[in-house]
Amino acid sequence: MSLALQTFSTVKDASAALQAAGSRYLGGGTLVVRAANEGDVSVSSLVRVADPGLSRIAVSGGKVRLGASATMAAIARHPELAALAPAARAVGGPAIRNMATVGGNLFAPAPYGDFAVALLALDATVFTEDGEMPIETFLTGRDTSRVIVTAVGFSLPSMESFRFLKVSRVKPKGVSVLSIAALLQRTADGTVTSARIALGCMADRPIRALATEKALLGSKLTPQEIAPALAAAGEGITPITDPIASAWYRAEVLPVHLGRLLSQ
């Protein structure tokens, strides 16, 4: 079956073309082109936008805006995004990171979507041609989404407040057994005043660890004080099973790795 590629100079025109049956947006193509090559007949046409503005990374006044076509490699080497570099570097190997985009990562099903886990912990806003929405709303509705994501925005976290961990069995570029991102605000004596924790592979898309977040408030991240948060880590999760790990295994090791991340 032939695969058409349509290139547009504006998001608006590409968006109109994307409404046709069988059309899919083309980011870096690491997932959608592979799917087409592997015989996914639901894809008959790829639509892309040749606007360099979609690859722009802007950091100003403590705010970050990543164009949807910004690649993981570009984020990982950006001098002002050191706090995010571990999450960007967690995506595949160098060849994949040179192609893999922010926009595509938002749509990537588990065990992929490591960068989207970081964006969820950062409470990112997802921008589309039509407007903007919180990342949680976007992730919930992404399966039926026909809009083109143009950018994501969030407040730049400090190195101290943002933590990211990916667990894989093949080093350095295996897919996730799980990934965890945590944005923690603490007082001078180390007491947690706010916690936002996102998990990858604990559902078909990134989810928040709401019970853990709540249990962490007021704690000091000592082994004793994080114990209730770790005990609550299993609440609301439905881990995936794939050739890398079973749902049972993922659920068993989640508190172990969460404990390591929080004790860092």
Among 30, 45, 212, 219, binds ligand FAD (CB under 6 A): 30
- The minimum distance between CB 51 and ligand FAD, in angstroms, equals 11
- The minimum distance between CB 196 and ligand FAD, in angstroms, equals 19
Residue type, position 79, single letter: P
Exposure class string for 23-61: b at 16+ Cβ within 10 A, else e: bbbbbbbbbbbeebeeeeeebbbbbbbebeebeebeeee
- Residue 189, SS3? coil
Of 84, 42, 35, 19, nearest in space to 27 by CA = 35
Applying CB under 6 A, the span of 18-26, 80-88, 222-230, 232-240 interacting with ligand FAD comes to 18-26
Beta bridge partners of 65: 58, 153
Q: Which of positions 38-77 make contact with ligand FAD (CB under 6 A)?
A: 68
Q: Which of positions 103-162 make contact with ligand FAD (CB under 6 A)?
A: 103-105, 107-108, 112-115, 148-149
Closest residue to ligand FAD in the complex (CB): 104
- The minimum distance between CB 91 and ligand FAD, in angstroms, equals 4
Q: Which is nearer to ligand FAD, 47 or 192 (CB)?
A: 47
- The minimum distance between CB 179 and ligand FAD, in angstroms, equals 8
Interacting residues of 250 by C-beta distance below 8 A, sequence separation 6+: 177, 178, 201, 202, 239, 240
Q: Which is nearer to ligand FAD, 128 or 219 (CB)?
A: 128
Q: Which is nearer to ligand FAD, 196 or 205 (CB)?
A: 205
- The minimum distance between CB 166 and ligand FAD, in angstroms, equals 7
Q: Which is nearer to ligand FAD, 148 or 215 (CB)?
A: 148
Pair of tokens at residue 33: 């082109």
Q: Which is nearer to ligand FAD, 102 or 226 (CB)?
A: 102
The three-point CA angle 230-185-212 to 5° equals: 20
Residue carrying structure tokens 């209730």 = 228
Query: In whole angstroms, what is the distance from residue 159 CA to residue 148 CA?
Result: 31
Positions in the binding site for ligand FAD (CB under 6 A)? 24-32, 34, 68, 91-92, 96, 99-101, 103-105, 107-108, 112-115, 148-149, 175
